[in-house]
Amino acid sequence: MNSCHAAVDYAYPWTQCIAEFKFQQEPGWARTFAALMLQSPKLQDCVSQSDWLLPMPLAPARLQERGYNQALVLAKQLAPAKVLTEGLLRLRHTPSQRELTKRQRQVNLRGALLANPQHLSTLQGARLTLIDDVMTTGASLAAAAQALRAAGAQEVHACVFARTPDPTVERVHRQ
């Protein structure tokens, strides 16, 4: 992955807001999250310079359970004309990543994501940005970026609303 940008740390008060967005059928949070994301010059540049925004896909069972893909709703708030809805496919259901270590997450995702063969000509040579609500270890985004690079993407970036704080990373600016 070329870069990853987050608007806020995954901490109070955002953890509750994200839970409402993701698990309590409150997709209206996407407007607020996107507005905060676009206040960050790095995120704004990443979105504006991308050819396509690709929301992280959900497995069909998880999509049915939630009723919507929160990453897709967020991407449509960021730049609706650039959203490539099915550019990336989830091939199989994977257990929830929430309680897994970074290594377990990587194993869990092995072979789970694939660039959509119907969009290969669009993806080849493109500058892509993955969109998701939360980044914890980065395993999902790394697996997605690897699949897109294998399909010929020139660059793969990621923009997320919140990122789990990493004490080893110096913060330059966070809202």
pLDDT digits (tens, 9 = 90+) for 118-138: 999 999 999 999 999 999 888
The confidence score (pLDDT) of residue 62 equals: 84
The confidence score (pLDDT) of residue 57 equals: 95
**Count of structural domains, the chain:** 1
Quickly tell me which residue has 């913060």 as its tokens: 171
Tell me the pTM.
0.89
Q: Phi-psi category of 24—alpha, beta or left, where left has phi over 0 and alpha has psi -120 to 50?
A: alpha
**Roughly how many angstroms between the first and final C-alpha of the chain, as a whole number?**
23
Give 97's contacts (C-beta < 8 A, 6+ positions apart): 105, 108, 136, 139, 140
- Give a yes or no: residue 168 inside a domain: no
> How does DSSP assign 63-119, residue by residue?
HHHHSS-HHHHHHHHH-GGGB-TTSEEE-S----STT--HHHHHHHHTTTEEE-GGG
The confidence score (pLDDT) of residue 43 equals: 96
- Give a yes or no: residue 122 inside a domain: yes
- Give a yes or no: residue 92 inside a domain: yes
DSSP, collapsed to helix, strand or coil, labels residue 17 as helix
- Give a yes or no: residue 59 inside a domain: yes
Q: Distance between CA 110 and CA 43 in Å, rounded? A: 28
- Give a yes or no: residue 171 inside a domain: no
Where residue 124 sits, what CATH number does that domain have? Answer: 3.40.50
- Give a yes or no: residue 174 inside a domain: no
The confidence score (pLDDT) of residue 98 equals: 67
Low-confidence ranges of the chain (pLDDT < 50): 170-175
- Domain hosting 151: range is 3-163
The confidence score (pLDDT) of residue 96 equals: 65
